[in-house]
Structure 1
């Protein structure tokens, strides 16, 4: 197998992001920035300092080969959760002298970054036991107010999401180890397996990395599912999505490794629906949790879903390395909830 050489990176300025998971004052609420500020809007992307990005570019861009990670905008062509399909209209301009596009789409239907407005977490009080808040304590009322752009996707758009990407190829690992599963099931990938994949690939993580995990949803959707299969999934009242285990152990690893963002080709990155428990290494059950509530609402960590990682996997195998430079330019939409990634991997 190939290897990834660790490149020394200047330390991130001392901040709450350098504190170990077990020493965090509140693991569910890392709200360190002033409400409404740029730093609040960036969340964990504050780790992508100019120094980190420059060193990532210097260490990763060697051949000039590029791979796009954007799945077809018309996929999922039949989506669950009542998400409407993409509409693309071509309109005539100046009597046929030219043409314009009109796009109507939900970014959640295809490759997308979940922004900080996408998901909340429960923060009950005696007065309001059902209260849920978004990152920084942002309320649903603030998000519904179109004049309020707090924690909107525009903060990410100003500088983009750029840095060192690393792929953990679970699909290839499963094939080597005769593990059979569907990406549209509650198949869960434990942390010990992710660590084993990293070891086999020669991966050494660096603070500020953008983590990609290949689960195989786009491959299965494009190559193994017919129209009836897709319709059955879309109409299911209890859809299932394979992904990483939702455990405190997984959260600890994601925090302590210092990832600036996580992404994959799964529908929801973590296994869905959230499981009450998972089998532990010692045979005992480990309590499950809903990681979206921690990663997005608690930490401000971008989650990428439905990225097309098939060509990326082939290129990594061809070159024998699983690191690359990532450029992603989210839509500059004030108050936006999510965005297509407009993402490239450069080798």
Structure 2
């Protein structure tokens, strides 16, 4: 077993470039584990202020990966090829492979992002490679390019890649969220698995509520501080609906028998979309925090007790961002997109610690 100071000493040698970094969930979690983040790359310039406010010492590169060239990145960041201490991370936007039934025309370009990321892996041949995405990438591994990528890794020194769907709730995140994760290395033959936390799994009441620093607020509350305990407003009829939804896990069936409140689309159709207008349970992990978690009609995103949607800070907390994380954006929807698309930092820390452990055993 390595001593603590030795663990930190070794971990500081590892450095990472985070492709598709968004607001920095993966970068922050890796940094917390002890891996230095050199840069984050994203085509959405809206992420720059948030990323730079939280990922100290890292450069934000505004670039479309389709246009970015390997040599250009090599020169910009003074990267070396075949560097055992380099980690390349690719958590590409994944709407195309998501099971959520959305229009795929807008996201069609994103289906090729894994192939674009693999260009950089093949060029730099880093010590470590991390890919995180929706489970659909694995289910459709031929179409997504995952199969070809895994075969290339195995044939080029990354002999024992770990690729599996994990639930982030097993790693300290108070949310049920299944994510595909690949971790590969060419400096050892050991399979690297994210480090699970022992003991009780985190649930909503562990992180939310007035006793956890979240004062009661009304719908439409605007928090102009960095805490961002901001909740969207709702119509009067929706306020009446939420008053009839049972506290702690109730759903829209609470108002189904009220002709004034029942939605036409659900008349005679009580079994579908029951999470709409649904409350979180205190004693369960939250459902997957999506980019629309601020809306009561887009899933089970109603506060367990208060008659409102989750606030921005509550959504971020359920994603395991620390309360001090600063989100900068032009609108509620803009900030919520960064939060919902993020890799939960505590899960990223579990990945980072597993990589550090592997590195310490190999050197």
Which is higher, the Rg of structure 1 or of structure 2?
A: 2
TM-score by length of 1: 0.26
Q: Which has the higher contact order (CA 8 A, sep 6+)?
A: 1
The structure with the largest strand share of the pair is 1
Question: In proportion to residue count, which structure has more helix?
Answer: 2
Q: TM-score, normalised by structure 2?
A: 0.25
